[in-house]
Amino acid sequence: MAIDALSRKAGALAVIAATGLSLAFIPAPALAGTPAHRPPAPATAGVQVADAPDVPKLPDGLSALSWAVTDAESGSVLAAKDLHRRLPPASTLKTLFAVTALPKFAADSVRQVSAADLEGVGAGSSLVGVTEGGSYTVADLWRGVFLRSGNDAVHVLASMNGGWDATAREMQQKARSLGAEDTTVQSPDGYDTPGQVSSAYDLTVFARAGLANADFARYCSTAQADFPTASGVTRIENTNRLLSGAGGMTRYPGIIGVKNGYTTNAGNTLIAAARRDGHTLLVTVMNPQSGQANGVYKEAASLLDWGFESVDKAEPISSMTRAVAQSPQVQPAAHTTQTDERGGSPWRDALALWAGGIGATVLAMGAAVAWRLHARRRAAAARRPEVP
Nearest to 325 by CA among 175, 172, 178, 220: 178
Q: One of 22, 66, 76, 91 is an active-site residue; which one?
A: 91
- Which residues have CB under 8 Å from 333's CB, separation 6+? 221, 222, 223, 243, 255, 256, 257, 344, 345, 346
In angstroms, the CA 362 to CA 383 distance is 32
94 is an active site residue: yes
**35-93 pLDDT, tens digit each:** 344 444 443 369 999 878 889 999 999 999 999 999 999 999 999 999 999 999 999 99
130-178 pLDDT, tens digit per residue, is 999 999 999 999 999 999 999 999 999 999 999 999 999 999 999 999 9
* Active site (annotated) includes residue 149: yes
C-beta of residue 301 within 8 angstroms of C-beta of residue 245: no
- Residue 197 is classified by DSSP as B
Least confident of 135-144, 200-209, 353-362: 353-362
Is residue 328 very low, low, confident or very high in pLDDT (cuts 50, 70, 90)? low
- Distance (Å, whole) CA 283 – CA 260: 11
User: CA 239 → CA 98, 220, 243, 299, 322, distances in Å?
Assistant: 17, 11, 8, 17, 31
Residue 26 predicted with pLDDT over 60: no
**Is the backbone of residue 358 left (phi > 0), alpha (psi -120 to 50) or beta?**
alpha
The whole model's pTM is what? 0.77
Q: Which helix (H) or strand (E) holds 206?
A: helix 200-211
List the catalytic residue out of 22, 66, 126, 149: 149
φ, ψ (nearest 5 deg) of residue 45: -85, 180
pLDDT at 378: 42
CA–CA gap between residue 172 and residue 175 (Å, rounded): 5
**CATH class as words, domain 35-351:** alpha beta
Domain range list for the chain: 35-351
- What CA dihedral angle connects 148, 208, 72 and 289, to 10 degrees? 50
- From the list 33, 13, 32, the residue with the least C-alpha distance to 22 is 13
Q: Which of the following is catalytic: 66, 76, 94, 259?
A: 94
Q: Is residue 57 annotated as a catalytic residue, yes or no?
A: no
